[in-house]
Structure formats: C-alpha cells, structure tokens
Amino acid sequence: MKTLMIIINWINAAVLAGTPLLLATNGEILTEKSGNLNLGVEGQMYMGAVTGLAAAWLTERWFGVGGIIPLIAAVVFAFLMGCISGLIYSVLTVTLRANQNVTGLTLAIFGTGFGQFFGEVLSNEAGGYVTVGAETKHVFGNINFGSLTEIPVIGTLFFRYNWLVYFAIIVAVILGWFLNKTRKGLSLRAVGESPATADSAGINVTRYKYIATTIGGGLCGLAGMYMSMVNQKGIWVTNCVSGYGWLAIALVIFSTWSPLRAIYSSIIFGGLSVMYMRVPIPGMPMAIYMMFPYIATILVLILTSIRQIKEHAQPASTGLNYYREER
C-alpha cells in the first residue's frame, strides 16, 4: 500500500514536472516540422519566464488587482515574448539564411542572459525580491475539483493539477490532429521534409517556416512562464529554467517528433527529473539522477535507429536553410 502511494504521488509529481516540458517540446516539434532546428529553447523559456512574471507583477501593481487578470497578462505576454524570439530566429535563418545551429545556440545564450538580467531589474524594482500576491498564486495553483479530488488513486492521478497541465495536453492533441489530419499540416510537414518539393507544389515555404517557428517559440515562452509562475510560485529565482529547455530538445527526439507521444514521454521525463525527491536511493549522487533523462534519450535514439521507421525520424531538411535557385 505504501509503495502504491509512493508511485501514485510520484506520477502526480511527474505530470506537474512534465507539463513545461510538454509545452516546450510541442513548440520545438512544431518548429522542427518546418525544418528549423531551434536549439534556443532554453533561452526562449527564460524570456517567457521573466516576461510572464513581470506582466503578472506589474498588472498587480498598476491596476491593483490579483487573480485572473494578472494570470491573463502573464500568459499573453509570455506567449508574445516567445513568439518574438521565434520571429528573431526566423528572420536570421529563413530570410538571412544564417546557420541554424549557431543561431539557436546564440538564442539560448541571449535568452538566458535576457531572463536573468530583467529578473534582477525586477527584483531591484521590487526592493529585494519579486513575488506575486496570494490571489495570483492561487489561480496558478491546483484547480478545485471538489470531491473528485478525494477519490482514492483517481483523484491524485487526474484531479490534482493546475489548469496549465490540462491546457498542455489539449495543445498536444490539437497539434497532433493538425499535423496528421489537416491540409495545412500536410503542407507544413512537406516543408520540413523537402522544401524544394513543397515549393514546387506551390506552398509558400517561407511563410510556413515563419509561422511555425514563431508559434513554436510562443509555446516555449509559455513553458518558461510555467517555470516562474507555477514551479517557483510567482517568485523570481535566477536559475528557474534550469536546463529544461535542453531537456525539451532531447524530448523531441524521445517522442520521435510526435506531439501525442510527447504527452507520455514528457511524463516519463518529468518522473525521471523528480526521481531524486520521490525515490531516493541512499548514496546515489544527485548528478546521476540528473543524467537519467539523457540516458533515456540515448536509449530511444538507439532503439529508433535499430527499428528504422522512416516516419519516426527527424524531418529530413531540419537544420538546412532553403533557397530556391540553389542546388
């Protein structure tokens, strides 16, 4: 019974820890489906984290309201900031044809600096450290499902989460439907697989790359906001993203570019990343625990390359910029 409780609580914690990963992973999947390999997720998440917190905090301060309005401000501005970062990446790689790896790494470094710098500015402004009010914290907390929460096992497994958990899953389902079932989704996948083919079929490659990368960035921004508003409960912590952006990039591979598989993959990753708290093994150093998600990624890479399913591979043109008259 006790082990069952440990496992159930672990799953609950895994879902909570997996949610920002799921959002960022979906963002990166969308981006990579357009053939852009954006390594800047970590930076984009920092930008979203600080912007979301600042928006909530400033809304509280300027308008004197707490709760739902600061929440909306945090979501909207974090998303927009993520979009801007995606847009910057697109301008550099699609229009100016800069190298994707270099641009992505630069974005990661830039975004991290951006977040930490404005986080400090915000802290100074607030006179020491920023924190949002109790009401705002509350709307980012678990949803009140009433007696549903109390059902044994089921309550903990399904009804003890904040709204972003459900939102992230819905986003994943919609993205999966969009990519696999719709005409535009087909076009987007064609752009990522073979831009020359898409182009000669009359698809506007540039537009698809821009839109996918920008919205993908927006999702990463939301993932960052989750780190500052939910994980840190509305308080600025300098290292709040702590490598989750890199984990998300690994998770894209782990879920073999499928938004739906990303749902359970992110829960597994979330579980691995909180394992040290839930299933402590005496004498095992923390650093070993931190390696687990990456070891899992390597295993999946090995397995998928053994099985050789073409549909489960990275979009063929990822990392390459497209120019029609080049050959």
Partner 1 sequence: MLDTKPITVDNVVEMHHICKSFGTVQALSDVHFELRRGEILSLLGENGSGKTTLMNILSGIYFPDAGEIYVNGNLVTIRQPKDAFDLKIGMVHQHFKLVDVFSAAENIVLGLPGGRTINRRALTRHVREIADQYGFEIDPDKKVYDMSVSEKQTVEIIKALYRGADILVLDEPTAVLTPQETDKLFDIMRAMKKDNKSIILITHKLNEVLAVSDRVTVLRKGEYIDTVLTKDATIQSLTDMMVGRSVSLEIDCPVPQNVEPILKVQSLTVLNQDGGKALDDVTFGVNGGEILGIAGISGSGQRELCEAIAGLYPVTGGSILYKNVVDGHEVDENVVGLNPNDIVKKGIALAFVPEDRLGMGLVPSLNMVDNIMLKHYRKKKGFLVDRRTSREIAERLVDELQIVTPDVFTPIRKLSGGNVQKVLVGREIDTHPRLLMVAYPVRGLDINSSYTIYNLLNEQKEKGVAVIFIGEDLDVLMEISDRLLVLSGGRVTGIVDPRCTSKQDIGLLMLGQSIDNEKGADAV
Ligand X SMILES: Nc1ncnc2c1ncn2[C@@H]1O[C@H](COP(=O)(O)OP(=O)(O)OP(=O)(O)O)[C@@H](O)[C@H]1O
Q: Which of residues 123, 131, 156, 194 is near partner 1 by CB under 8 A?
A: 194
- By CB under 8 A, the residues from 212 to 241 that bind partner 1 are none
Q: Nearest approach, Cβ of 322 to ligand X (angstroms)?
A: 13
| Nearest residue to ligand X, scored by beta-carbon proximity | 327
Under rule CB under 8 A, residue 187 binds partner 1:
yes
Compute the distance between CA of residue 281 and CA of residue 243 in angstroms, rounded to an integer.
23
Under rule CB under 6 A, residue 97 binds ligand X:
no
Sketch the per residue contact string, 62 through 91, with ligand X: x for CB under 6 A, - otherwise. Answer: ------------------------------
Compute the distance between CA of residue 42 and CA of residue 146 in angstroms, rounded to an integer.
36
Nearer to partner 1, 13 or 313 (CB): 313
Under rule CB under 6 A, residue 310 binds ligand X:
no
The closest alpha carbon to 50, from 21, 19, 81, belongs to: 81
249's tokens: 């990039």
Residue 307 touches which of partner 1, ligand X, none (Cβ within 5-8 Å per kind): none
Name beta bridge partners: 235. Answer: 131
Under rule CB under 6 A, residue 325 binds ligand X:
yes
DSSP string, 220-270: HHHHHHHIIIIISTTB--TTSSTTHHHHHHHHHHHTTT-HHHHHHHHHHHH
- By CB under 8 A, the residues from 281 to 310 that bind partner 1 are 310
Under rule CB under 8 A, residue 95 binds partner 1:
no
Compute the distance between CA of residue 313 and CA of residue 310 in angstroms, rounded to an integer.
6
Q: Nearest approach, Cβ of 305 to partner 1 (angstroms)?
A: 16
Nearer to ligand X, 2 or 327 (CB): 327
Under rule CB under 6 A, residue 311 binds ligand X:
no
Name beta bridge partners: 131. Answer: 235
Residue with token string 């790359």? 209
Q: Nearest approach, Cβ of 90 to partner 1 (angstroms)?
A: 19
Q: Which of residues 144, 183, 282, 285 is near partner 1 by CB under 8 A?
A: 183
Confirm if 228 and 240 have CB atoms less than 8 A apart.
Answer: yes
Q: Nearest approach, Cβ of 28 to ligand X (angstroms)?
A: 32
The closest alpha carbon to 260, from 172, 181, 168, 165, belongs to: 172
Contacts of the segment 120-123: beta carbons below 8 A, 24+ positions apart: 120/238, 122/50, 122/53, 122/54, 122/57, 122/236, 123/236
Nearer to partner 1, 205 or 223 (CB): 205
- Footprint of partner 1 (CB under 8 A): 181-184, 186-187, 189-190, 193-194, 196-203, 310-311, 313, 316, 324-325, 327
- Footprint of ligand X (CB under 6 A): 325, 327
